Structures are given as C-alpha cells and as structure tokens.
Structure 1
C-alpha cells in the first residue's frame, strides 16, 4: 500500500528498530519471526497446520517463552517482546483465540511491573513494548474479530501528540468543515471529535494540503491504533446499535475505514469477523430516505467493500448501491466522488474498488435475484 499513501508516510523500517534488533538477539522472538515468514510465503502449508518447519520454529519459541516465564527472567523486556512474537504468529494464522491469550498475558505481566502507567517514566521502554507496529496490532485486531473491548486503552498509547499535530495542521479546514457541513453535527461530542480526527488523517494521507513533513511508519500506526481504541471505548462492536441511527452507522463505518491501514502481513486482507458482520447488517438495515443517510450509506458501502467485504457480498451490496444512487439521483462517478468528500476518503487507495462497484451497480449487470438470498451474517 506504500505507493498509495500520497508520499506522506515513510514506510521504511528503521535498521535500528528494536524489532529488527531483537530478531537477532532474542532467540524466542527470532523463532516466532521465522514461523511467521514461512506462514506468509507458504500459506497453504501454514493453513494445513502440519508444516514441519513452522511447527519446529513455533514450538521452539513457545518452549523458550515458557522457560523464561517460569524463571527469574519472567518480567524482563525480552520476555514481553517474545510474547508479542507469539501473538503475532497466532494472528497471522487467524487464531485469534490464542492471540487473545497472549495479549492478556502481556497485560498481566505489565500489571506485575506496576501497570502500563508505570512505563510513562520510561517512554522509550513504553514505545518498545506497547507500540503497535504494522505487524503487531494484535489487541485492536482481536477486538475487531470478537467485537469485544480492547485489553489496553487509548490513554495507554503514546499517540496523542501526533493527533494534536494533525489537528493543528488542519485547524482551519476543521473549523470550516464544522461550520459548513451538517453531517458531523448529529454526533455526540466524543464520536464527532474522532470523526474530525479521521477526516484530518485522510486529508493528510491524500495530500490535499501541501505539507513538507513525512510521518515515520511507527508513529503513523501508533495513531491508527489510538483512533481505533477511542472508537472501541465509545462502544465495542458487541454492544453496537446496528441498524437505525445515523450515529451507529457512522461509528461502524469509521471503524471500517481504519481497517484500511490494518492489512495483514504481506498486504493480505485481515479477517475481522465482528466488524464485517456488524457493518454489513447496518448498511442493509439503514434507512435511505434522508439525504444525509443516503450519503452515509453510500460511503459506508464503498468503504466496506474495499476493506471488509468480499466478492460474495456483492449479491446484496450492488442492489443497495443502485437504490442509494437512484435516491440521490447520481449518474456519473463525479457526483459520487463529490458526495464521498464529506467523509474520510483516500482516492489513491479507495477509488479503484469503488469505481468498479459503482459502474456495475449502474449498469445493472448483477443478478437481482441473488439479492434475496440469505445474507451470511457470520
């Protein structure tokens, strides 16, 4: 995705990164990384669960971690890093139940060291252990899969400063948007604040405003996780009001938008079961009589297809788009794109999928009979 990020994100992993260094100095972390690498490049073998090389490296990593946990090294940094490696492997395998066990274990070890707040006096250590790098967004991904609250909280993450920087960078745009648009005004204060933060994020990545500054990949992903945690603190997915309110659909669609930046290793689509099911149901059940709802459903549907839905979902998504397009009296793509600019949208990332879907819905090339088939909620 790096070529689609508008030149605003430096996607290079620093050579001095602690994750790179620990690959060569932390044996348990090394073996889990090897297992992850094999799983990425040999996915069929990984899915079978019997690949001898994967089993050998993962078993070795697990053995070393258990040794450390049973001895005097249990609370050392290297042990926590090794557990992050185990969690990363389980997440790559879509074993979210096992990944959750490791995240909860990390939380318990952190509590034994005084809790996450205790790391604030050691910012470098806090960043090393709890920074959610691109391949280790496990806590948020578990919440997206199960629909439950995150184990850690937004306040635990060292990401506020970057969000404040973006707010200042787009201060005038945010004020103008707030005054001229009615869309955000129906949201409660906390969701409206996140909505405007994500709008600023999308504007930055899209390169709509000249800015000489590039963001490093780690701080950028810090901010994505920070925004995701804030959304889950408003309401976990298993407590979502799914269908009828503007605010509930906006909440789910903003979560969907953030998954744009949570691709799996090697760019693979991630399996976020609860997020997918919730957004699918909300889009189908949302009313489309009002113009604001029509725009929101249009954006939610196009974002959902890019990040969470698959080709099988088009049997219901295409008729829904056709109905919304008719209600909004939209013909060409230009009208669609104009409506999408009221929401977080990154043309270089989202336009290709959205244009294809929109064109098919307008041409009526889909089988309308399929739209009445049973929708796979789960």
Structure 2
C-alpha cells in the first residue's frame, strides 16, 4: 500500500526499538515474533509464550513493561489468526494491568510503550479491529491517544484549500459535532494522501497510523456498531462509510483485507436500505457503495451491489467515469488506492443498466 500513498509518508521504521530490545530480556516476547500460522512449531512457541506470560503475571514481574509487551505480542498473534475472542481477552488484560499502574496517564512519559499499547504493528491495532469485528466499543479511549496534534496539523493544511474545505463544511451541516469533526479530519487525511494539499514535509509512518487509530476510536465512540439505528439515515450511512474508509489502512498479512464482520454487515445493510431520494443522499450512497466495494465487500456481494450502483448512477444521471469521480471527491477518496476497484464495479453496473434497457426496449407491447 505504501506505493499508493503518493510519497506523503516516511515509511522508514527506527532500528532501535524497545520491542526489539525486549526480545533479548523477555523469553515470552521472543516467541511471538515467529511468523503467525498453523505450523506445529509456531503453535508450540505460542503455547510456550502463554505459559511464560502466565508465570510473569503470577509473580513480581506482572507490571513490568516487558510483560505488557509480551501480552501485546500474544494479542497480535491471535488477531492475525482472526481469533478475535482470544485477542479480546489479551486486550482487556492489558487494560487491567494499565489501570494497576495508574491508568494510561501513567505512560505519558513512556511514549514508545504507550504506542505499543495501541499499535501492535505499524499497520494494525488489535483493539480497534476487535471492535470492528464484534461491533462493540473499544477497550481504550480516543482521549488516551497521542494523535490529536497530527490530526490538527492535517486539518490546518486542508483549510488552506478554502474552496474544498468550505465545500466539506457544507456537507456536514446538521450533523452532530463529533461526526462533523470526524468527517472534516478524514477529508483532511484523504486530501493529504492524495496530494491535494500542500506537503511541507513527509509524515512519519508511526504518527500516521496513530492518527488512523485515533479517528477510528472517535467514530466508534460517537456510535458503536452494535448501536446502529434500525432505519438508515444520512447521518448513520455517513458514519458507517467513514469507518469503511478507515479500514483502507487496516490490512492483514501480505496486504489482505481483514475480517471486520460487524463493520461489513452494518454498512451492507445501510447501503441496501438507504432511500435513494434527494441529490445529497444519492451522492452519499454512491460513495458508500464504492468504498464498501473496495475495502469490506467481496464478490459474493456483487449480486446486490451492482444493481444498487446501477440504480444510484441512473438517479444521478451519470454516463461516464469522469462524472463519477468528480462526485466521489466530495467525500474521503484516494484515487491511487480506490479507483481501480471502483471503476470495475461501476463499469459492471453500467453494463447491467444497458442490458436492462435493451431488454425493456425489445419487449413486444402490442
């Protein structure tokens, strides 16, 4: 994915890392670094790690940094295996240990460890992904994350494009304050990555992913997925599609899409049931469907997604991809990442519309 981010990110990872240092002092840490999988040797290492962590938790090392890091490693192993129930147990354990050390505020002077509590590897975070899988709230809170500064920096960059920023503000009129802030910040993120805002310097990879996690936490605090409204409104569809957009940056091993069951089912239901009435709702439905088609849905969804896209495209009177992309840019959209899948899906919807029109024209009416 780094090649699609427009050269805006500094993807170099520091060689000196407290994670690496702890592999030499904490045997439990060492084992989890093995490539996750179902190989018997890897599973044996993982079982040994569990045993070692339990030993540390029952002794005088329970609250040491190395123990916390080992538990993070275990939760990461479970996450990449998509064993979210087990991963949740580890994350909740981390939270309890953090509380015993005075809460997250007690880690303010230990930035490296604090980052590990929220970001297990540069492109994933177990706590957020668990919430997207189960539809529940996150264990930690957005206010605990040291990411507000980066978010504000990107927002100020986006404000320099007065026309685009003003247009984004108009889209958020009538939304609650938290969702309005999330939309503007995620628009700022998309504009930055797409190269549509000034780029005085590259953004380092760790602060970038801290920001993704922060924005995801804030959206789920606005409305957890298991509290979605029964009736799809403009606000509820926008909220779900923004979550969908952020999953663009939450990829599993080898860049494959992760299984975010609750996020996927919620967005699917909202798109299927969205009333295609009114220009603004039609635009939102188009963007939501194409974002979902890129990041959350699969080929099994095309039986309903393609007709839905055809319906929305007809309502918007869209004949060519240029008009589609122009509308999409009013929402968080990164052409270098999203266009390929979106073009394919939209072309399929246009072909379906053409076939339907041809069928209707050939029906003998008299």
Coarse TM-score class (shorter-chain normalised)? over 0.9
TM-score by length of structure 1 reads 0.90
In the alignment, which residue of structure 2 is the partner of 1:326? 314
Matches within 5 A, 1:1-378: 1-34=1-34, 37-39=35-37, 46=38, 51-131=39-119, 133-134=121-122, 136-173=124-161, 177-178=165-166, 182-364=170-352
Equivalent residues of 2:108, 2:114 under 8 A apart: yes
Name the CA distance, whole Å, in 2 between partners of 1:289 and 1:141: 33
- Distance in 2, matches of 1:62 and 1:365, equals 56
Q: Following TM superposition, by how much is the alpha carbon of 1:121 offset from its aligned partner in structure 2, in angstroms?
A: 4.1
Q: 1:100, 1:128 → 2: CA distance?
A: 16
CA distance in structure 2 between the aligned counterparts of 1:317 and 1:174, rounded to whole angstroms: 35
Cα pair 1:87 1:103 within 8 Å, conserved: yes
Aligned partner of residue 243 in structure 2, secondary structure: helix
Secondary structure of 1:170's match? helix
Give ranges in structure 2 of 5+ residues lacking alignment. Answer: 357-366
Q: 1:111 & 1:366 partners in 2: Cα distance? A: 60
More displaced stretch, 13-22 vs 294-303: 13-22
1:11 Cα offset (Å): 2.0
Aligned residues between the structures: 356
RMSD: 1.9
CA distances 1:231-255 after superposition (whole Å, capped 9, x unpaired): 0110100001154210000000000
What TM-score do you get using the length of structure 2 for normalisation?
0.93
Q: Give 1:118 shift.
A: 2.0
Shift of 1:217: 1.1
Contact 1:133 1:222 in 2 (8 A): no
Deviation at 1:174, TM superposition (A): 6.0
1:209-248 CA deviation, whole Å, 9 max, x = no partner? 2313111111110000000000011010000115421000
Q: Distance in 1 between matches of 2:260 and 2:10?
A: 26
Q: Secondary structure at the match of 2:60?
A: coil
**Alpha-carbon contact 1:145-1:274 (below 8 Å) kept:** yes
Structure 1 gap ranges (5+):
40-45, 369-378
Q: Secondary structure at the match of 1:185?
A: coil
Aligned counterparts of 1:79 and 1:136: Cα–Cα separation in 2: 20
The 1-side partners of 2:59 and 2:124 are apart by: 26
1:318–1:366 Cα contact (<8 Å) kept: no
The C-alpha deviation readout for 1:126-148, integer Å capped at 9, x for no partner, is 23444454354000000000000
